[in-house]
């Protein structure tokens, strides 16, 4: 475990807090006294971060926790700088830019449909389930509500459906160009 602790290094651009939790775990396992943690941690930082963390490291008024926070901030600052550098380079080569615009598409719930009310009316009878079952038990036609035949045999049904379709078609044509009518 001690060897593992010695081998531990903060990898450049890694998650510092992840590194820190591994550091504390291995430090405890290796039974490193806590007063040495500060120095042990400092030695594991790459030069660029160690340089920035040095004043805090040398400042005796800072607690170990404060030093850790300082290191964490320093690494994330450096990461941000490096990432911005990357973004600039990739932007120059044309592949950069923000994330894909994901919010504009999709979930606005039910979109406002075309105002034609009866598009499916020729397929779905206007009667609700209760009325239909009532007519069914009474042996009446769903379409004309007369006895003696079923809805599918209804003599009034075909013409009704055709005329309904024609009405719908006319309605749709009217609604497609409302601006022309208005003008
Ligand atoms: Zn009928």
Reading the chain (183 residues) residue by residue, the pLDDT tens digits are 688 888 888 876 678 989 999 999 999 999 999 999 999 999 999 888 899 999 999 998 999 999 999 999 998 888 888 888 888 888 776 554 455 555 445 444 555 555 555 454 455 556 788 888 888 888 888 888 888 888 888 888 655 556 666 767 777 766 655 555 555
11 and 83 inside one domain: yes
Domain C-terminal end among 92, 119, 146: 92
83 and 10 inside one domain: yes
Does residue 118 belong to any structural domain of this protein? no
Distance from Cα 148 to the centre of ligand 1, integer Å = 8
Distance from Cα 146 to the centre of ligand 1, integer Å = 6
pTM equals 0.46
Distance from Cα 136 to the centre of ligand 1, integer Å = 12
Does residue 86 belong to any structural domain of this protein? yes
pLDDT on residue 54: 93
82 and 137 inside one domain: no
13 and 85 inside one domain: yes
Give the whole-angstrom CA distance, residue 58 versus residue 120: 79
Does residue 98 belong to any structural domain of this protein? no
Q: Note down the domain range covering 31.
A: 2-92
22 and 83 inside one domain: yes
Does residue 161 belong to any structural domain of this protein? yes
Does residue 106 belong to any structural domain of this protein? no
Does residue 104 belong to any structural domain of this protein? no
Give the whole-angstrom CA distance, residue 7 versus residue 10: 10
Does residue 124 belong to any structural domain of this protein? no
Distance from Cα 127 to the centre of ligand 1, integer Å = 13
Distance from Cα 140 to the centre of ligand 1, integer Å = 8
What tokens were used for 114?
């075309």
75 and 153 inside one domain: no
Total domains, the chain: 2
88 and 135 inside one domain: no
Q: How far out from the chain centre does Cα 32 lie?
A: 44
Does residue 29 belong to any structural domain of this protein? yes
Distance from Cα 144 to the centre of ligand 1, integer Å = 4
Distance from Cα 139 to the centre of ligand 1, integer Å = 11
25 and 79 inside one domain: yes
Helix axes 16-29, 64-92, angle to 10 degrees: 140
Distance from Cα 160 to the centre of ligand 1, integer Å = 10
88 and 133 inside one domain: no
Give the whole-angstrom CA distance, residue 84 versus residue 74: 15
């Amino acid at each position: 475990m001690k060897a593992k602790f010695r081998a531990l290094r903060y990898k450049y651009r890694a998650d510092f807090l992840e590194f820190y939790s591994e550091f504390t775990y291995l430090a405890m396992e290796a039974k490193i006294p806590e007063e040495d943690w500060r120095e042990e941690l400092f030695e594991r930082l790459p030069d660029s971060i160690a340089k920035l963390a040095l004043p805090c490291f040398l400042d005796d008024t800072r607690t170990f926790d404060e030093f850790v926070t300082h290191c964490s901030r320093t690494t994330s600052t450096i990461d941000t700088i490096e990432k911005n550098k990357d973004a600039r380079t990739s932007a120059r080569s044309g592949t950069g830019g923000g994330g894909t615009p994901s919010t504009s598409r999709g979930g606005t719930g039910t979109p406002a449909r075309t105002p034609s009310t009866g598009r499916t009316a020729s397929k779905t009878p206007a009667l609700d389930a209760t009325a239909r079952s009532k007519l069914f038990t009474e042996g009446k036609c769903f379409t004309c509500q007369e006895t003696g035949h079923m809805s599918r045999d209804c003599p009034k049904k075909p013409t009704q459906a055709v005329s309904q379709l024609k009405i719908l078609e006319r309605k749709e044509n009217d609604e497609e160009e409302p601006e022309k009518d208005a003008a």
